[in-house]
Amino acid sequence: MDQEKNEQVIEVKLGSGIREIDDLQTLLKTCLDQGFPLVAISRATKLPEAELQEYLSGSLPSDFSRIEYLNIFLILLLHEKPVSDTYYRDLMDGLTHVFEIPEDTIARYAGVSADELNGFEKSDKREHIERCIAHLFVTFMRDSRFTCENGPWVIEGCGEADQKEENQ
């Protein structure tokens, strides 16, 4: 039985800070220069640290899809900071379009009316609403590899892992 494949396409618009000379190697070096550890970039992009080291030295895979998310991640990290006038609006659009969360739900979560949410840029509760939008976005975008049960820091004392040890 054939099933239609439902794929979500997320369009990323580059901010005014992006320059044509920012290739992958430059982006990676800039992140490291700004203090972001390679292990953090590896965890966020699901690419092994050794592979990222190869990219730093200029060795790139011939298949762009292998590093497509890495490019997007680095561009967002370095050039799409929350100082943009549209940053939180874009996060909210991601919540409503990608995750299909109704705006009314986001408004209730933030404790404001739907009208106030839609005009949050001019609201006296702007900072509160932006924090709520950012928290929802991060919560829905979280990577299950880093939950309590799956995280690399899990040794003991995290619920299910304890029960497994006791049952063995």
Quick one: pLDDT at residue 130? 93
Q: How far is CA 90 from CA 15, 33, 81, in A?
A: 12, 28, 12
Name the burial class of residue 92, with classes exposed (0-12), middle (13-18) and buried (19+) by CB atoms within 10 angstroms of its CB. buried
* Other CB atoms within 10 A of residue 132 CB: 21
* Other CB atoms within 10 A of residue 30 CB: 15
What is the 8-class DSSP label of residue 156?
S
The size of the chain, in residues, is 168
Quick one: pLDDT at residue 149? 53
Quick one: pLDDT at residue 138? 83
Mean pLDDT for all residues in the chain:
77
Per-residue pLDDT tens over the stretch 22-67: 688 999 999 999 999 999 999 888 899 999 999 999 888 887 777 8
CA–CA–CA angle 135, 78, 37 (5° rounding): 85
Higher pLDDT, 107 or 138: 107
pLDDT band, residue 167 (cuts 50/70/90): very low
Task: Tell how far CA 61 is from the center of its chain.
Answer: 23
Contact between 138 and 88 (Cβ < 8 Å): no
pLDDT band, residue 76 (cuts 50/70/90): confident
